[in-house]
Structures are given as structure tokens and as C-alpha cells.
């Protein structure tokens, strides 16, 4: 007797009928590409097996993790960015951070997400493997992708914009993915407005900064951060792994993400999933 037959939960029935899980999180390794604006990812073993052995022969190893919260695949909380001294909703940024944490708008306020997700595979629309360095993805590109895929974007959805730049994540020279000199493709102000107009819940990309970085400019202006985080309260997810979804042409899925409830933080590392029913 299987357990499947017993359940009366529609969701669990669907899970037990078989699902495929796509892992959208990058592996966190010492030395991986990350923004130089954030503390580097570090992981060490303070205790190794054999350091302290119990009378019964058992031993445990453990870790020390030191990292920024905007490294690896991560989500930006609304507390992350301010404009003219104001956070999303108008709160004074200086006052909100007194005490060294954000009681409001910190990443602990980001509810776990189990929602419709849509991948917008822009380079596939453009007939490319990857958008070029510094290319700004336009509203026309987004519309064309929606149309080609047959996946309209609705209110509350999580929209993941593939630029193809993620293929450089594992390049032996980490500077390629960071793209300081070359620039990095992504949406600009117009693409961000397109997302905001559709009322998406969160938006993600396969690059470190989500948005288009012109060559040599670095993070000097980030209009999409302003429009999405500050003006519309839309979360951003960065450094995502989107190649497998694109390869399998999975454009619509159940998106699952549970940020660590780091009290008062401006972001969290995450391991988002795209889940689909099998055949």
C-alpha cells in the first residue's frame, strides 16, 4: 500500500505524481564571482573530524561562514536600496537603520514564495546564445519573448529574465562574469517599468546586478533597482542559474523560494527552485 492513495491534498497529489526540480541557485564556493561591493564569501572548518572524539568514537566537523548577503544567488530585500534618503513606502532610511538592522523592510519580512514563475528567454527570441555585453534588454524584447513563448506575465508572478550571461559564471577568470570592463546585459529603466506595470511579485536575472551595466560604468547608476525596489516594492533575485530551464524550454513553472529570515538584513542568499509536473 502506497501513501499516495491516502492523501486528499491536491498539491501533494501533484507532487506525488512526479515532479522535476530545477535548481536555480549557484553553488557557493570560495573564490566564485561576486560583486566587490560586498564582503567576500568565506567558509572554513573550525572543527574537523578527530579534533574532539567522544568516548563512543563519534566525532563532528562544523563550519564557520563569513559572507555578504548579496553574494551567490540572493534576493534583495526592500531595505537594500534608498532613493533621496527614502526607502520603499517613504520611510526615512537613516532612521530605519538605527540599531544596525531594519526592523521594517528587512529580509525577514520577505514571505516564502510558492508562485507562478515565468522565464523570459530573451536571447532565444533574439536568435542568440547570449545577449551581448552591455546590451539593454528593451520592452520590445520582453514583449516579443512573451509572445514567442506564449507566456503572458501576470500580477503576482515571479519573472526571471535570462540574458545568457550566466554561462560565464563558471569561467576560469571570474572577472568575465562580473563584467566591469565589458559591461553586462540586462533590462534598463524601461524594462523595469515594463515589469512594474505588470505587478510582478519579484524579478530575477542570471547576472550579479540584475540590470544592464554599460561598459566601464560598474554600479554607478542602477535605475532598475530604484524603480523596482524603491518605487514599487518588487524584490530582485540575482546571480541565478537559468541555463537548464532554457535548455529544456521550461518557460512556466511553480517558483519556490524561501529566503533565510535574517532579522533586519538587506538581503539573503537563496536557492530558488522551479518545479514542474512530469510528463
Tell which positions 80-119 bind a second copy, by CB under 8 A: 80-85, 87, 93-94, 96-102, 108, 111-112, 114-116
Quick one: 199 or 215, whose CB is closer to a second copy?
A: 199
Binding segment for a second copy (CB under 8 A), chosen from 50-58, 125-133, 172-180, 186-194, is: 50-58
- Residues between 227 and 246 that touch a second copy (CB under 8 A): none
Q: Give the integer Cα–Cα distance in Å for 236 and 78.
A: 9
Q: Give the integer Cα–Cα distance in Å for 160 and 63.
A: 32
From candidates 33, 34, 69, 158, binder to a second copy by CB under 8 A = 69
Q: 279 to each of 8, 12, 32, 111, 150, how far by Cα in Å?
A: 22, 17, 35, 30, 19
Cα 274 to chain centroid distance, Å, stands at: 12
Q: Is 48 in the site for a second copy (CB under 8 A)?
A: yes
Binding segment for a second copy (CB under 8 A), chosen from 37-45, 135-143, 169-177, 188-196, is: 37-45
> Dihedral of the CA atoms 247, 252, 253, 254 (nearest 10)?
140
From candidates 121, 141, 157, 211, binder to a second copy by CB under 8 A = 157
* Other CB atoms within 10 Å distance of the CB of residue 135: 23
Quick one: 107 or 246, whose CB is closer to a second copy?
A: 107
Computed on alpha carbons and rounded to an integer, the radius of gyration of the chain in Å comes to 20
- Residues between 120 and 149 that touch a second copy (CB under 8 A): none
Q: Give the integer Cα–Cα distance in Å for 72 and 27.
A: 7
Q: Is 217 in the site for a second copy (CB under 8 A)?
A: no
Q: For cell 492523501, name the residue.
A: 7
**Pattern 168-207, a second copy, x by CB under 8 A:** ----------------------------------------
Amino acid at each position: 500500500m502506497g501513501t499516495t492513495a491516502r492523501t486528499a491534498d491536491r498539491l501533494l497529489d501533484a507532487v506525488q505524481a512526479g515532479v522535476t526540480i530545477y535548481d536555480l541557485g549557484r553553488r557557493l564556493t570560495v573564490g566564485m564571482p561576486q560583486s566587490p561591493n560586498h564582503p567576500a564569501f568565506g567558509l572554513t572548518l573550525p572543527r574537523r573530524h578527530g579534533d574532539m572524539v567522544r568516548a563512543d568514537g563519534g566525532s563532528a566537523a562544523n563550519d564557520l561562514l563569513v559572507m555578504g548577503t548579496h553574494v551567490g544567488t540572493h534576493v534583495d530585500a526592500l531595505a537594500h536600496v534608498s532613493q533621496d534618503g527614502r526607502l520603499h513606502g517613504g520611510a526615512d532610511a537613516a532612521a530605519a537603520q538605527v540599531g544596525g538592522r531594519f526592523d521594517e523592510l528587512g529580509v525577514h519580512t520577505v514571505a516564502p514564495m510558492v508562485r507562478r514563475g515565468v522565464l523570459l528567454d530573451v536571447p532565444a527570441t533574439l536568435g542568440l546564445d547570449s545577449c551581448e555585453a552591455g546590451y539593454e534588454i528593451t520592452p520590445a524584447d520582453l514583449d516579443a519573448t512573451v509572445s514567442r513563448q506564449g507566456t503572458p506575465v501576470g500580477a503576482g508572478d515571479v519573472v526571471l529574465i535570462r540574458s545568457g550571461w550566466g554561462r560565464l559564471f563558471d569561467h576560469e577568470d571570474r572577472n568575465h562574469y562580473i563584467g566591469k570592463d565589458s559591461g553586462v546585459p540586462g533590462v534598463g529603466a524601461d524594462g523595469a517599468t515594463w515589469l512594474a506595470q505588470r505587478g510582478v511579485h519579484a524579478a530575477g536575472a542570471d547576472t550579479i546586478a540584475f540590470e544592464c551595466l554599460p561598459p566601464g560604468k560598474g554600479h554607478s547608476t542602477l535605475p532598475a533597482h530604484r524603480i523596482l525596489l524603491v518605487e514599487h516594492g518588487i524584490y530582485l533575485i540575482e546571480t541565478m542559474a537559468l541555463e537548464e530551464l532554457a535548455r529544456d524550454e521550461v518557460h512556466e513553472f511553480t517558483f519556490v523560494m524561501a529566503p533565510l529570515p535574517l532579522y533586519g538584513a538587506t538581503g539573503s542568499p537563496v536557492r530558488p527552485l522551479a518545479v514542474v509536473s512530469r510528463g
